[in-house]
Amino acid sequence: MIVIPQTFRGIAFIGIFMMIASIGFTRMNSKEKTEYISLKGKIIYLDKTMGTLPTRDKGIYRYLIIDSYQFPFEIYADEQAKIVDSLAVGDHITVYFYETGNTHSEKLNRYLQFLEKDGIIYFKRTGFQRTMGFIMIGMSLGLVLFGYALWKTNKIGY
């Protein structure tokens, strides 16, 4: 059972926590290409599946392993699938990405931001994550303001 705080302080705490997490998420997905970790390597695996992955939306994901990085990359390629599929095992590429704790625990990197070959971008992360981050920031702020309004109208305690 989830306990919902019935005080302004509880609502404000949750809203501020969500806002801070959303700001961090937005910042990680809004950087310039040169601000991410970059590695050059040779493709040693590229396919639509890898083991039991994907567990959802088969055909949209691509799995990429390069010789210079310890984890495979999961790429949500939706509209960019054709250009990603034009790459081949043995191609030398540059990847731009970041890691989180999940990368190491899952042994899978889901945070590839750019993939290029010979200076040509073959994959660029869409702006969906950034947009979602801004939406979450707005919703968090709205939650705090809603809690404040409830407190001011004596619907909840401080």
pLDDT tens digits, one per residue of 129-149: 788 999 999 999 999 999 999
pLDDT digits (tens, 9 = 90+) for 102-111: 999 999 999 9
**DSSP helix, strand, coil percent of the chain (3-state; round to 5):** 40, 25, 35
CA distance 44 to 87: 11
The burial class, CB within 10 Å (0-12 / 13-18 / 19+), for 101 is: exposed
Close Cβ partners of 80 (under 8 Å, ≥ 6 residues apart): 122, 123, 124
Close Cβ partners of 37 (under 8 Å, ≥ 6 residues apart): 96, 97, 98, 99
- Read off the tokens for 143: 């939650």
pLDDT (average), residues 5-11: 87
pLDDT higher than threshold 80 for residue 3: no
CA distance 145 to 56: 36
pLDDT higher than threshold 80 for residue 96: yes
Q: What is the pLDDT of residue 127?
A: 75
- Read off the tokens for 50: 């890898």
pLDDT digits (tens, 9 = 90+) for 41-56: 999 999 999 999 988 8
pLDDT digits (tens, 9 = 90+) for 116-130: 999 999 999 877 878
pTM to 2 decimal places: 0.79
Question: At 132, which amino acid appears?
Answer: M
Q: What is the pLDDT of residue 75?
A: 94
